[in-house]
Structure 1
Amino acid sequence: MRGLTQLILLPLAACLSLWLILGFWPLGIVSRIALSMLVSIISLTMGYFQWRGYNRDEIAQVKIADAILPPEGFQGAVVLVCGDSMPLFSVSIPFRETRQGWYLPVALPEDLPLLAKHLAAERPALIAQVSVLLAILPEQHQEKDDLTQRLHVWHRAIVQCKSWLAGVPPVWVSTWLSPPSASATETERWFTITPDFKDVQVQEAGAGVISLVEWSQRSDARNSQEKLSAVFWMESLLPWLETHVGNILTQRQGDVPALIPCVWGACFTLVTGSPDNLWQGHIGGITTLTPHVHEVKECLALPEVLLPYLPRRHGVSRLMQVWQLAGLLCGVFLLFALLASFVNNQRLVQSVGDHLALYNRLSGTPPSPKTVAQQQLRADASLLDEWIRSGAPMRMSVGLYQGMRLIAPLEAAINSWSPPPPPPQVLTQIVQGPKTILLDSLSLFDVSKSELKTGSTKVLINALVGIKAKPGWLIVVAGHTDITGDEKSNQLLSYRRAESVRNWMRETGDILESCFAVQGYGATRPIATNDTPEGRAANRRVEISLVPQADACQATATPHSSND
């Protein structure tokens, strides 16, 4: 379920990232689009690989899918039994349940990480209750090298579980050994051994836990021989465990760290043994005794007496894990949103502060620059006022909005200065004349010519109707061209065309020459763009307008013309 949880949380992380980029961070449009696309691509890629990994995990867990796991709310210890685990379980029942523990067998070292992963995915609340029991049966091993190699493999497999069980799980070692004499088979007794092998305690029924020395010194004539045999058996077992097991687990193997068992236990009960096993060789090397080999069909006793020595901590349920991860994502989002809001508010304060500083530096003489600065302050104040009415934007809020404290300085600065009133206007009587008459040059002249065309008379007569010569008014005839050609030719052509129009009007309308002024501007005064044919056609024109002039159009006046 861990892969499924990641598949669920990934869209949440992608949505929060896009919300942060588009709604909070002070970025340009191009940067926002680029980052949004990057986040989308990364999210889709990660989702694809997680989906494939989730499917692979389901396939890999087929081997342990039939294993019966403890319920989600199980309060006891969850024990993964490794090593010589088969004598502790029956063929028909794949697990053993007691009041204090739930025992699951692990047949092969490569199955241990898979089972740990399966437990972490299906029962995450029980991860803290998982421990690894390394079962050792000395009477079932015949070769020391084979036992050493098996322990090395189990050592590495236990360490591999740390990525699924929140670290290396607690490890405890239990040994089952046939008692030294048949008389002792009636009593199943456990011996507890501390990691340093210096404190051996006996689990005595009715007396609790007592030290091995105290137990052996108790006066009990009926069991004195059994106690002496048990003490001898225990004193012989300690060096064997230290040589064959302790030195292997407590030493580092390359990149595999050492394992320190939290408790050691030994149980004297009948155990199925192999001929010429390691325990027989060990006892034979110490004494002339040869332990008997037994054939037992019942399951061995579980090391329940060792469970109180295991470290315990509270686990986290699967739902709680999902909520914790979602809360972590939301917390990271809120942290970055607060940071972005702080940056946006600092930019607002800096911008308004710059506008106020510029406004205060200006003296108001001339008033135009300060008027422009005042208009900027009014725009800032209007924006802040709108945010008061409708609420500050999300990128500025999140509890860090600082626009309220900027309103008072803005209003004080705006009200501290007003532009001077405009100068009083002198009322003068202006005689308005007719509008300027525009004549298209192509309707009057051929291309690059200044002589009037034959068909231009109608156009000129229509223009002459609106022009009436009278004293005090000057008839100004101005010629214009487009930018085609050089500047001097255009100016001369425009002047000669204006002259042709003036001559026709003077002769046809019997108007004095003093009533006219002729001007040629060439291409210096366009009324449209010269980049298009339509604009150039509009610029090729002759303008006729009336301009008031005191001595104009007098009978005794001398002819008046000008060339600009």
Structure 2
Amino acid sequence: MRKSVILSVVLHTLAGFAALLWLLWYFMPVSNAFKSLATLMLAMLAGWLVWKNCRYRTQQAKGSDAFIDLPLLDTQGPVVLVCGDGLDAIFQGQPLRKTAQGWWLHAGDVDQLTGMVRSIQEQQPRQVGQLSVMYVCLPDQHQDEAVLRSALKTLRQQIKQLSALTGFTPPVVVSCEFSGPQTPWMMVRGNKPVVCPANESPQALIDWQQSEDNLAMLAVLSQAFGFIRETLLDELDKADRLTPPVRTFAVVLRLGATNADPAAQSVWSDWLFRRTCLQLPCVTAVSDPGNRFPDAVLPLLAPFAAPVQGGQRTRYVVFLMWLCALVALGFSALNNRDLIREIGADLQRWSAIPMDHYTPKAQSLEALKRHVLKVERWHRQGEPMRYSLGYYPGYRLWLTLQQAIDTYIPPPALPQAINTYVPPSPPEHKPVSQIVRLDSLSLFDTGRWQLKASSIGVLVKALAGINAKPGWLIVVAGHTDDVGDDKSNQRLSRQRAESVRDWMRDTGEVQESCFAVQGYGESRPLKLNDSDAHRAANRRVEISLVPQADACQVPGKTTSPAKGDVITSEMEK
């Protein structure tokens, strides 16, 4: 196998491998461990494909009878693969015939066309776009019409395989030589028959018939046209369940061929006798060596013959690249959606906390500032690739965050001490926040967000103090430790908070407007994630009662919010 073929296989494999890695590392929202494992598997698959392809091509080149070591073409003209009857007499023992307008290649039997084209595709893939097919039929050498039609069915199957192999249907020319009076080559393209005498300009059939004794050949010539139309073209144009019809590009024919066995009845002699009662004598015709090929058809094939780059392998790689680009576009849109949801959850919590709750308001402010710094950094350095193909809303998010931060009112400064004695006021009774710690119980399985059946009793006992009432918002926030990637933890924390919210809503028949769900992932730990005990403390779901005028509002009744309790349930991840 040529080095150029090996290089082509390697380059196509590397192009597909690079497209998959680009999609995997820049757009898929998966962990780095999964990306590394997938990269290793893709590298092994690429190496196996290169080895298998090269080995297959080498064995094919050694074992294929139709494999021909072709020289490089020095012309841009058509390359016609000639198959069918009497090729040895046409080519005179040569494998090819080269002209100034194109090449004629000896392809052998009809069933060898695919092997010949595959050999050309492996050696010189640019020549594939210049290929055409010419089927030679000698009706005087066929005694059974069924055998002749069987060869035409094989031609249809080969053309179907060539279309799948090359990606296009090559032009098909039908060439027939009949016994009878000597005539030059005649070519029919569409409905315009043209006579092409040797070394002369082509002329219309009606003009050729009016000169010399050519009118006497009209009877035999018209039957030859009828035989081609009702036998050859009829079989090629048949609609079949397995093979599509073949539309011929052109038909060439001439009279003057010699019947090899005059005593035997041929398809052509039987056709002619049944329709005209003519019996042609066996006359040995001396054929011109330079007129064995219908060279006049080559200029018609020239506009449809052009070198091409690549082949079936290139089409597969281009399709894979387009597919990777479309998948990357979808992942980019999903990543942008997750970014909007993450920032939107912090903005929702910011809006839900009243201004006079200075401590939680300051914590929410820090989260908004972190988002602003991240968006500003991406604005200066360019957003990450995973957001670039979708609708990246960086400026819109930055503007919304800045507007929210500008509404922050810092706590009032403490009054300066004065000499006037002020009697101390009695201490104000403040509700003590209740904390329920579930150290040995687990509400969720590891990595899951569905509540376990054994957790129902724990939830009933732990959340007995949560009662929905007008003017209060039940904020359910989920938290995780630092095990895993940020996106997975953020999604898991929100899903766990939604599971607790759904249980509270369905069990206590609380309205949907009474809840606000947030997922913070690992961004707000209670302790450093440096030990198993600290990580267990960080895996939790927090449930808070926040005053909000329009939360759980009963129609027709106005309730002023008051300070309430906060109950925090710590749950294992």
CA contact (8 A) 2:347 2:368 kept: yes
**Taking structure 1 as reference, are residues 268 and 380 closer, same or farther at Cα in structure 2, changes over 3 Å only?**
same
Is the alpha carbon distance of 1:247 and 1:276 closer, same or farther for their aligned partners in structure 2, counting shifts above 3 Å? farther
Match of 1:10 in 2: 13
Contact conserved, 2:95 with 2:105, CA < 8 A, in 1? yes
C-alpha contact 1:274 1:293 (8 A) present in aligned 2: no
> Residue type matched to 1:12 in 2?
A
Q: 1:268, 1:243 → 2: CA distance?
A: 18
Distance in 2 between residues matched to 1:82 and 1:157, nearest whole Å: 11
Q: 1:191 aligns with which of 178, 186, 189?
A: 186
| SS of residue matched to 1:164 | helix
Contact map agreement 2:125 2:311 (CA 8 A) in 1: no
The 1:296–1:152 alpha-carbon spacing in structure 2 relative to 1, beyond 3 Å, is farther
In structure 1, the partner of 2:366 is 375
Query: Following the alignment from structure 1 to structure 2, what is the Cα–Cα distance between the partners of residues 324 and 148?
Result: 35
Return the match for 1:255 from 216, 226, 242: 242
Distance of 1:320 and 1:54 partners within structure 2: 15
Residue identity opposite 1:141 in structure 2: H
Alignment partner of 1:245 out of 228, 232, 236: 232
1:125·1:316 contact (CA, 8 Å) conserved in 2? yes
Comparing 162-171 with 284-293, greater Cα deviation is found at: 284-293
CA contact (8 A) 1:3 1:53 kept: no
CA positional deviation for 1:103 = 0.4
* 8 Å Cα contact 1:172-1:264 kept in structure 2: yes
Match of 1:291, SS state, is: coil
Match of 2:284 among 294, 298, 301: 294
Cα contact 1:70–1:102 (8 A) shared by 2: no
Question: What are the superposed Cα offsets for residues 88-121 of structure 1, whole Å, 9 maximum, x if unpaired?
Answer: 1021x21011122210112223321111122233
1:92-103 maps to which residues of 2 (within 5 A)?
Answer: 93-103=94-104
1:387 matched to which residue of 2?
378
Structure 2 residue matching 1:66: 3-state secondary structure: coil
Structure 1: stretches of 5+ with no match in the other structure: 428-530, 532-564
Provide closer, same or farther for how the CA distance between residues 99 and 349 of structure 1 changes in structure 2, counting only shifts above 3 A.
same
* Inter-CA distance 275–59: structure 2 relative to 1 (3 Å threshold): same
Could you say if the C-alpha distance between residues 284 and 405 of structure 1 is closer, same or farther in structure 2, counting changes exceeding 3 Å?
Answer: closer
Query: Distance in 2 between the 1:266 and 1:107 partners?
Result: 20
Alignment equivalent of 1:275, drawn from 253, 259, 262:
262
Pair 1:382–1:215, CA change in 2 (3 A): closer
Q: Which has the larger radius of gyration?
A: 1
Match of 2:62 in 1: 59
In structure 1, how many angstroms separate the alpha carbons of the residues matched to 2:263 and 2:331? 75
CA separation of 1:161 and 1:335: change in aligned 2, threshold 3 A: closer
TM-score, normalised via structure 1 length: 0.62
Give 3-state SS (helix, strand or coil) of 2:16's partner. Answer: helix
Note if 1:318 corresponds to 2:309: yes
**1:162 alignment partner in structure 2:** 163
Trace 1:90-489 onto structure 2 (pairs within 5 A).
90-91=92-93, 93-180=94-181, 184=182, 189-193=184-188, 200-203=193-196, 208-212=202-206, 214-216=207-209, 218=210, 220=211, 223-224=212-213, 227-269=214-256, 271=258, 273-277=260-264, 278=266, 279-283=268-272, 286-287=276-277, 289-294=279-284, 299=289, 301-310=292-301, 312-313=303-304, 315-318=306-309, 330-397=321-388, 401-421=392-412, 423=414
User: In 2, Cα distance between the equivalents of 1:399 and 1:284?
Assistant: 75
Report how far residue 264 of structure 1 moved: 1.5
Aligned-residue sequence identity (percent) comes to 23
* Mapped pair 1:88 → 2:90: yes
Q: Deviations over 1:122-150 (max 9, x none)?
A: 33333333221111223333444443433
**Structure 1 residue 238, shift from structure 2 partner:** 2.7
For residues 44 and 31 of structure 2, the distance between their equivalents in structure 1, rounded to whole angstroms, comes to 20
Question: How is 1:482-561 mapped onto 2 (pairs within 5 angstroms)?
Answer: none
Contact 1:170 1:311 in 2 (8 A): no
Closer, same or farther: CA 50–384 of 1 in aligned 2, 3 Å: same
2:75 paired residue number: 74
CA contact (8 A) 2:186 2:196 kept: yes
Aligned equivalents of 2:72, 2:143: Cα separation in 1: 35
Distance 1:169 1:326, change over 3 A: closer
| Displacement after TM superposition at 1:373 (Å) | 0.6
CA distance in 2, matches of 1:3, 1:255: 34
Contact between 2:83 and 2:136, CA under 8 Å: does it hold in 1?
A: yes
Is the 2:77–2:305 Cα contact (8 Å) retained in structure 1?
no
Tell me, yes or no, if the aligned pair for 1:119 and 1:127 is still in contact at 8 Å.
yes
Task: Provide the aligned length of Structure 1 versus Structure 2.
Answer: 410
Aligned equivalent of 2:22 = 19
Task: Output the CA distance in 2 between the equivalents of 1:254 and 1:413.
Answer: 68
Q: Whole-Å Cα distance in 1 between the matches of residues 311 and 225 of structure 2?
A: 44
For residues 386 and 262 of structure 1, the distance between their equivalents in structure 2, rounded to whole angstroms, comes to 64
> Residue type matched to 1:410 in 2?
L
Query: Could you say if the C-alpha distance between residues 206 and 81 of structure 1 is closer, same or farther in structure 2, counting changes exceeding 3 Å?
Result: closer
C-alpha change, 1:293 and 1:146, in structure 2 (3 Å) is farther
The verdict on how the C-alpha distance between 1:33 and 1:70 changes in structure 2, with shifts beyond 3 A counting, is closer
Q: What is the rounded CA distance, in whole Å, between the counterparts of 1:136 and 1:402 in structure 2?
A: 69
Counterpart CA distance in 1 for 2:380 and 2:149 is 79
RMSD: 3.7
For 1:32-61, what per-residue CA distance to the aligned partner results, in whole angstroms no more than 9, with x for missing partners? Answer: 456546645654554454344333433344
Q: Tell me, in whole angstroms, the C-alpha distance in 2 between the residues paired with 1:249 and 1:415.
A: 80
Give the deviation of 1:23 after TM superposition. 2.2
Aligned to 2:540: none
- Which whole-Å CA distance do the structure 1 matches of 2:247 and 2:263 have between them? 30
Question: Residues 251 and 258 of structure 1 are in contact (CA less than 8 Å); yes or no, is this contact kept in structure 2?
Answer: yes
SS at match of 1:113: helix
Deviates more, 1:107-116 or 1:415-424: 415-424
Give the 3 Å change call, closer, same or farther, for CA 240–413 of structure 1 in structure 2: closer
Structure 2 counterpart SS, 1:356: helix
Letter in 2 for 1:259: V
Distance verdict in 2 for CA 1:66–1:211, change over 3 Å = closer
Structure 2: any 5+ residue segments left out of the alignment?
A: 419-532, 534-573
Cα offset for 1:25?
A: 2.2
Distance 2:129 2:102 in 1: 13
Amino acid at match of 1:59: K
Q: Is the 8 A contact 2:336 2:390 kept in 1?
A: no
- Who is 1:499 aligned against? none
Distance, in Å, in 2 between the alignment partners of 1:349 and 1:50 is 46
Q: Answer yes or no: is the 8 Å Cα contact 2:167–2:312 preserved in 1.
A: no
Secondary structure of the residue aligned to 2:132 is strand
C-alpha distance in 2, partners of 1:364/1:31? 44
Contact in 2 for aligned 1:137/1:177 (Cα 8 Å): yes
Cα separation, 1, equivalents of 2:292 and 2:395? 76
Q: Is the 8 A contact 1:262 1:309 kept in 2?
A: no
Distance of 1:165 and 1:69 partners within structure 2: 20
